[in-house]
Amino acid sequence: SSSSAAIPAGGSLQLTASVASTTTGAPTGSVAFYDGASPLGSAALSAIGASASAASLTVSFPSAGNHSLAATYPGDANFTASSSTLPLQSIAPPAYKLSASPASLALRQGAAGSLVLTATPSGGYQGTVAFSCSGLPANSTCAFSPAAVSLDGSNAPASAHLTIQTISPNGATGALRPGNPHGTALALIFWAPGSILSLLIGWNPIFGWNRRMFGWNRRRIAPALRLLLLFTLMLGLAGCGGKPFQPTPTGTTQVTIAATGANASESIQVSLTVTN
């Protein structure tokens, strides 16, 4: 028998063979173990009862694949030889497992939460593992620190922090987001010239100007200038306007966290609950 039906490459496996007598007395000597036709080693028998003995051998396999294992007893002065095969032994390729602590987050809208991701390699996995997330609720973000970890083949685990940020109904500061990043400039471009022109011409008595200065009739042109002033005022307000932040919706979402490396990938789900 073997201690495990499947192990990672480079992992240890204990093989055990039992030799039983159909009469009296326990078999003695040793048992040889084979991988196909290739010898793995031998181990001495030890009595495990009045009429049985057992031998164990610890082996490892450096590469992935399936192995046909067998044990052979050559016999002794009192017992004849015998042999037995084991079920097909599977050796998995180098890989890693991903875990999260904690496995869930509960956040209020506008809050951020963090958890620790750990990539635990097996079989001497070596390479860079990059993290990503998907399935986030609308108007939320995720960030990893660091964005990737390096596994050096020693089977030592490596960790990173994941932070999920949500948005409140009023944004992080309760402010408004600019509707147009160039709103202030547009306000100055359209508002200031029209306003000054309307004041200078539409209300020229303030400055002591003649009614028909430059050949214009103030009574005819003043209403149009007032409309121009109103129009430029509206443009200025539109340029400075804004719209509310869109909050992260409340509810529970299963966020998928992926860890991707060379010839291997792993993903888990983290439960995210958002409340108001």
pLDDT digits (tens, 9 = 90+) for 216-251: 555 566 566 566 666 655 655 555 555 556 999 999
Burial 20-56 (b: 16+ CB within 10 A, else e): eeeeeebbbbbbbbbeeeeebebbebeeeeeeebbbb
Please report the pLDDT score of residue 208 as a whole number: 44
Q: How confident is the model at residue 22 (pLDDT cuts 50, 70, 90)?
A: confident
SS3 50: coil
Beta-bridge partner residues of 274 = 107, 251
Query: DSSP label at 148?
Result: E
Query: Do 109 and 247 meet the contact criterion of CB atoms below 8 Å apart?
Result: yes
Please report the pLDDT score of residue 172 as a whole number: 56
Please report the pLDDT score of residue 173 as a whole number: 33
Residue 73 pLDDT > 80: yes
For residue 117, which of 149, 141, 95, 94 has the smallest C-alpha distance? 149
Please report the pLDDT score of residue 196 as a whole number: 58
Q: What percent of the chain has pLDDT over 90?
A: 55
CB-neighbour burial class of residue 205 (10 A; exposed 0-12, middle 13-18, buried 19+): exposed
The most distant pair of C-alpha atoms in the chain lies apart, rounded to whole Å, by 138
Lowest mean pLDDT among 76-80, 192-196, 250-254: 192-196
Please report the pLDDT score of residue 213 as a whole number: 47
Q: What are the tokens at 161?
A: 């922090």
| pLDDT tens-digit readout, 137-169 | 999 999 999 999 999 988 899 999 999 999 999
Q: Do the strands 65-67 and 46-49 form a parallel or antiparallel pair, or are they unpaired?
A: unpaired
Structure pTM? 0.57
Mean pLDDT is highest, among 104-108, 123-127, 169-173, 184-188, for 104-108
* Mean pLDDT computed over 32-54: 95
Please report the pLDDT score of residue 106 as a whole number: 97
Q: How confident is the model at residue 48 (pLDDT cuts 50, 70, 90)?
A: very high
Average pLDDT, the chain: 82
Q: Which residues contact 241 (CB under 8 A, 6 or more apart)?
A: 179, 180, 183
Please report the pLDDT score of residue 94 as a whole number: 86
Q: What are the tokens at 148?
A: 């990737």
Residue 266 backbone phi and psi in degrees, to 5: -150, 145
- Higher-scoring residue by pLDDT: 154, 118: 118
Q: How confident is the model at residue 180 (pLDDT cuts 50, 70, 90)?
A: very low
Q: Containing H/E element for 184?
A: helix 183-202
Please report the pLDDT score of residue 91 as a whole number: 86
- Higher-scoring residue by pLDDT: 205, 228: 228
Residue 96 pLDDT > 90: yes
CB-neighbour burial class of residue 240 (10 A; exposed 0-12, middle 13-18, buried 19+): middle
